[in-house]
């Protein structure tokens, strides 16, 4: 009995450690620490921790960029740490280094606490949405009170810097192998990056070519608050009120349209699908359009659920998945076990189906799992008409996986532009904070191969390539959607002729 009593403290300690074995959440930095300066030794410690984690978790960290080049650039950056820096200044140094790895799921995140604070204290942001085409920038949204900046006007420079130089420098801060995907990320984060990297705010001097007069003009324009931008866009500040998926129909054309903007909230999505496909049957819809052009991804099983409503054929979003085994990934997966089992040694958990493969494999090894096709169960709401999926540079991650299943399993027709996300890619990002500056980072833990098994370094390619034009945007026309409607009509006409 006395022997067992000696082990009780150790047992309690193990349980406490086990209860804390999961990946910790991101630490929020208070405004009082925004200007805190970190010593060179702390900055070097953060870089060391960052790359140690990247190398341990990523299946092939230097797949797209030679290690020698990254190491050389890293030494150059570390040599510049001769004086203390704020974490914002630190981000400006290291984000381009990680971006050189060219992996869309391996990144150093923006210092969002500083950005949110700037927004909350009514910081004045660049008052236009821009679209970048062929090295040029066009206004597609004007939030200022100056009507001279019409949609379709070409922006040549901002505060004396040519727009090409601005875009080229901002591209260094965004991650992805595909250039079109990186351009999309610059487009989505342009206002934040412009303020963060260059400190532009308040008043902007813009050189542009007027769409109305074709004159080259220079005009000063005041920045606008983020609240003003959202008000004009008709969006909301509350995350829980954001609408990630909607359905509407064109009854006269027998067309149903699902606008699928983010793969999030599985239970809510299941309810949405049930309600939507009841309407689709009720309205006798013959053609279904699924729009994932602005979907950055999220949870892949939302795509699986949607696929079961549009096909009875077996399907899969990937042919195989290769997972790098590391202490970080084991710890992460262990966090999903019941708290009373997390402290148990690996050998004791071999019977757990969610942990069996991981606990058997040594750290540093690669575990390959072949993906079995999903066989859809009988579904009385299943749609049996033609399916059209709209894709583009804003289609990433799990949304890309949905699109590649449509393509490789031949479940529908893809229309639009090449996806931003690669069809075969590294993904399933493990997220963590660096220890001193608490910048958030992510690193791919898996290599995910498309259903066809090929890796051509490209995104998912459309069956019909249709590029959005500035002219269409100026007129308020969705060129890709209009093309799809014409295609459906032509197929319907051909069928009637037969």
Same domain, yes or no, for 396 and 328? yes
With respect to residue 21, please indicate whether it lies within any of the assigned structural domains: no
Same domain, yes or no, for 187 and 250? no
Contact yes or no for 358/329 (Cβ under 8 A): yes
| pLDDT tens digits, 272-304 | 999 999 999 999 999 999 999 999 998 999 999
With respect to residue 76, please indicate whether it lies within any of the assigned structural domains: no
Domain encompassing residue 147: 118-233
With respect to residue 71, please indicate whether it lies within any of the assigned structural domains: no
Label the pairing between strands 255-260 and 203-209: unpaired
Same domain, yes or no, for 334 and 464? yes
- Structural domain ending residue among the three candidates 209, 233, 257: 233
**Cα–Cα nearest to 332, from 16, 20, 13:** 20
With respect to residue 465, please indicate whether it lies within any of the assigned structural domains: yes
What pLDDT shows up at residue 343?
A: 59
What pLDDT shows up at residue 365?
A: 92
Same domain, yes or no, for 252 and 387? yes
What pLDDT shows up at residue 100?
A: 95
The DSSP code sequence of 73-92 is HHHHHHTT-SS-B-HHHHHH
- Rounded CA separation 442/455 (Å): 23
User: Per DSSP, what are the bridge partners of residue 497?
Assistant: none
With respect to residue 63, please indicate whether it lies within any of the assigned structural domains: no
With respect to residue 446, please indicate whether it lies within any of the assigned structural domains: yes
- DSSP assigned state of 103: -
What pLDDT shows up at residue 329?
A: 87
What pLDDT shows up at residue 494?
A: 54
193-196-201 Cα angle (round to 5): 95
Same domain, yes or no, for 217 and 340? no
- Structural domain ending residue among the three candidates 233, 257, 279: 233
What pLDDT shows up at residue 247?
A: 97
Same domain, yes or no, for 293 and 367? yes
What pLDDT shows up at residue 121?
A: 83
CATH number where 434 lies: 3.90.226.10
Same domain, yes or no, for 289 and 366? yes
CATH number where 200 lies: 2.30.42.10
**What stretches of 26-149 show up as alpha helix (H) in DSSP?**
40-57, 67-78, 87-99, 112-120
Contact yes or no for 318/453 (Cβ under 8 A): no
Same domain, yes or no, for 382 and 450? yes
Same domain, yes or no, for 389 and 417? yes
With respect to residue 164, please indicate whether it lies within any of the assigned structural domains: yes
Same domain, yes or no, for 229 and 245? no
With respect to residue 346, please indicate whether it lies within any of the assigned structural domains: yes
493-494-498 Cα angle (round to 5): 115
Same domain, yes or no, for 468 and 322? yes
Count CB neighbours of 111 within 10 A. 25
What pLDDT shows up at residue 493?
A: 58
Task: Indicate the number of domains in the chain.
Answer: 2
Which positions of the chain have pLDDT values less than 50? 3-22, 236-241, 350-352, 354, 495-498
Tell me the whole-structure pTM to 2 decimals. Answer: 0.83
What pLDDT shows up at residue 234?
A: 67
Contact yes or no for 276/348 (Cβ under 8 A): no
- Structural domain ending residue among the three candidates 215, 233, 251: 233
Same domain, yes or no, for 254 and 306? yes
Contact yes or no for 175/420 (Cβ under 8 A): no
What pLDDT shows up at residue 336?
A: 59
């Amino acid at each position: 009995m006395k022997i067992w009593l000696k082990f009780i403290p150790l047992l309690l300690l193990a349980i406490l450690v086990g209860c804390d074995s999961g990946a910790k959440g991101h630490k929020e930095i208070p405004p009082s620490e925004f200007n805190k300066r970190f010593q060179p030794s702390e900055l070097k410690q953060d870089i060391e921790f960052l790359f140690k984690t990247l190398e341990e978790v990523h299946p092939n960290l230097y797949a797209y960029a030679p290690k020698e080049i990254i190491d050389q650039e890293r030494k150059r950056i570390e040599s510049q740490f001769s004086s203390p820096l704020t974490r914002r200044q630190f981000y400006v140094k290291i984000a381009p280094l990680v971006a050189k790895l060219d992996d869309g799921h391996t990144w150093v995140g923006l210092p969002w606490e500083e950005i949110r604070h700037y927004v909350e204290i009514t910081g004045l942001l660049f008052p236009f949405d821009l679209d970048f085409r062929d090295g040029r920038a066009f206004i597609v949204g004007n939030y200022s009170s100056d009507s001279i900046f019409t949609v379709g006007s070409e922006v040549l420079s901002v505060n004396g810097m040519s727009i090409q130089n601005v875009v080229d420098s901002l591209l260094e801060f965004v991650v992805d192998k595909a250039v079109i995907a990186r351009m999309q990320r610059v487009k989505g984060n342009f206002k934040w990056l412009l303020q963060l990297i260059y400190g532009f705010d308040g008043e902007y001097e813009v050189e542009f070519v007027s769409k109305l007069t074709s004159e080259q003009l220079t005009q000063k324009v005041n920045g606008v608050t983020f609240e003003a931008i959202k008000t004009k866009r008709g969006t909301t500040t509350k995350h829980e009120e954001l609408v990630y998926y909607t359905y509407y129909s064109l009854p006269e054309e027998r067309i149903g349209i699902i606008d699928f903007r983010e793969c999030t909230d599985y239970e809510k999505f299941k309810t949405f699908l049930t309600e939507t496909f009841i309407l689709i049957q009720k309205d006798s819809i013959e053609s279904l359009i699924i729009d994932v052009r602005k979907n950055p991804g999220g949870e892949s099983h939302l795509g699986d659920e949607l696929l079961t409503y549009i096909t009875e054929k077996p399907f899969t979003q990937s042919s195989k998945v290769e997972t790098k085994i590391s202490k970080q990934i084991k710890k992460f997966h262990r966090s999903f076990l019941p708290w009373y089992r997390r402290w148990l040694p690996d050998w004791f958990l071999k019977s757990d189906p969610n942990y069996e493969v991981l606990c058997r494999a040594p750290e540093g090894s690669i575990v390959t799992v072949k993906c079995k096709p999903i066989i859809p169960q009988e579904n009385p709401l299943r749609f049996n008409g033609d399916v059209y999926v709209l894709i583009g540079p804003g289609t990433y991650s799990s949304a890309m996986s949905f699109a590649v299943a449509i393509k490789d399993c031949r479940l529908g027709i893809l229309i639009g532009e090449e996806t931003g996300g690669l069809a075969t890619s590294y993904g399933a990002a493990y997220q963590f904070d660096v220890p001193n500056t608490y910048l958030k980072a992510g690193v791919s833990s898996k290599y995910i191969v498309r259903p066809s098994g090929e890796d051509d370094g490209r995104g998912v390619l459309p069956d019909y390539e249709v590029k959005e034009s500035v002219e269409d945007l100026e007129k308020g026309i969705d060129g890709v959607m209009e093309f799809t409607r014409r295609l459906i009509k032509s197929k319907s006409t051909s069928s009637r002729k037969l």
